[in-house]
Structure 1
């Protein structure tokens, strides 16, 4: 059987379509996801040293974080630009930004690709990204684009996932789907949630892009769910439609009980004494200066 190689343009088109399709699910799940994600946003903002008046860029903002949190920190004298590849994510983030009060900075949300940022050079004090940069096709190109829009001395503060075993929030359910659907391994070079998990490689790529004072450390996102059913809900609402279609094709229905029971059981060992499911997930945290 001939194995096709990685096609960057097709990958980006698929990513864009998937995130558009998942945007509503992510919005409906936002409050539950932020239980573990908000501490990551706060940590990135602290690492970036944000203060009133700063200009900030958020890359891969999704439905609006950490852009909206940053807007409250830099205040009305600051400014936040947020980009995302998916137009439907942009629409949701724009609507949410419009509801900020006048104590927050204005937030300009736009569709964009981190590797080809169409923004003025040297115009931002900080660039933030929460679980977005690892999907860049060309890591060094993405880091160079980020460096170009930072002012001299400006800071990149970003989170990317660690190894799958370290991040049960995202990995446990996918492992079940991969097994039940016999998913093939992605072609070499294709980005994935863990493509920046290697600290040394990521540091080398940052330095190759012109960053200095590079630090790649760990931070634990304290995700928790009320019960295993919430984990099933997460995968049902926030998975690409193609995966749900594959469940239907393989098992006759996207509601296949065997699949969803297996996903619930995949986190059973993480149940705490109070009945909640604790999913502390290690994330790599990047801090680097232009």
Structure 2
């Protein structure tokens, strides 16, 4: 878990600033990201057994997935709620949901949900849980808002980062170029839930049962190395852009982004695309009945 010195308030504030700042860029690359994201969403809906009439909560919905996909399954008799820490992400999701009557989006923190007990039949999350400060408490909160026997189905990045190049390659290059220190042990972050045994134990401690953790390879494909560079530029946190400017004079430092392009060289396909299959863990757990 996290160390005693970890400042959870500052961390959440920084997360909100980061996700707000990159919301437009994230949406601009949605088609690229969904080459790997859509198959993960489909598998989560299957694992959760989402069906017409279900009440679904999507945690860390970002620009609206898997909430919008779930809305297409639950139909007019069901309802989907998507929450995210970043208001600008929620604004993007609301724009995408225009005309969809059975889904709503709002700002919310998974560690302090104010929904009544047993509000949902299913909780989904696609790469949104890894940033929780206290994961056991987060899982307890999700168990509380689930109906007895309700299902949690979530995707988290496997660890270490080398097995998920879509999200790790550019950050590894930037870390080397900027000589960044490693993240504090136990701190929340993209790959903080990569140990299946630890995650299983945390779910059990929170009261979940029938837990399954399986591996799934998200088949990300981008049209070219240049497109991966463009994707990386729009999703890196603003703090890293500031560091690039301070050290190299520009956030678009040519040597840095050339190094990112070189990093994807092993992933080139014969057709000139970049294939970045990235390992993710799929969690399925059932809320206590009594």
Normalising by the smaller structure, the TM-score range is: over 0.9
Question: Does the CA-based 8 Å contact 2:186-2:192 persist in structure 1?
Answer: no
C-alpha RMSD over aligned residues: 1.0
C-alpha contact 1:58 1:82 (8 A) present in aligned 2: yes
Contact 1:5-1:187 at 8 Å conserved across structures: no
Residue number in structure 2 paired with 1:210: 207
Cα separation, 2, equivalents of 1:94 and 1:147: 26
* Distance apart, 1:117 and its partner CA: 0.6
Measure, in 2, the Cα distance between the counterparts of 1:255 and 1:26. 18
Using the alignment, how far apart are the partners of 2:186 and 2:43 within structure 1?
Answer: 30
- The aligned residue for residue 240 of structure 2 is 243
Structure 2 residue aligned with 1:267, among 256, 260, 264? 264
Runs of 4+ in structure 1 displaced over 6 angstroms?
A: none
Q: Note the alpha carbon deviations across 1:147-191, whole angstroms, 9 max, x for none.
A: 001111100000000011110101111100000001112223320
- Tell me the distance in 2 between the aligned counterparts of 1:133 and 1:193: 9
Equivalent positions of 1:67-146 (< 5 A) are 67-100=67-100, 106-146=102-142
Shift of 1:41: 0.3
- 3-state SS of the aligned residue for 2:93? helix
Q: Secondary structure of the equivalent of 1:219? A: strand
Between the aligned partners of 2:248 and 2:286, the Cα distance in structure 1 is: 50
Q: Please, what TM-score do these two structures have when normalized by structure 2?
A: 0.96
Q: 2:26 maps to which residue?
A: 26
Tell me the equivalent position of 2:48: 48
Query: Which of 149, 154, 173 is equivalent to 2:150?
Result: 154
Indicate the residue corresponding to 1:58 in structure 2: 58
Q: Matches of 1:187 and 1:222 in 2, distance apart?
A: 30
TM-score (normalizing by structure 1): 0.96
Contact 2:225 2:274 (8 Å CA) reproduced: yes
> How far apart are the structure 1 equivalents of 2:92 and 2:223?
26
Distance 2:67 2:9 in 1: 27
Give the aligned partner of residue 282 of structure 2.
Answer: 285
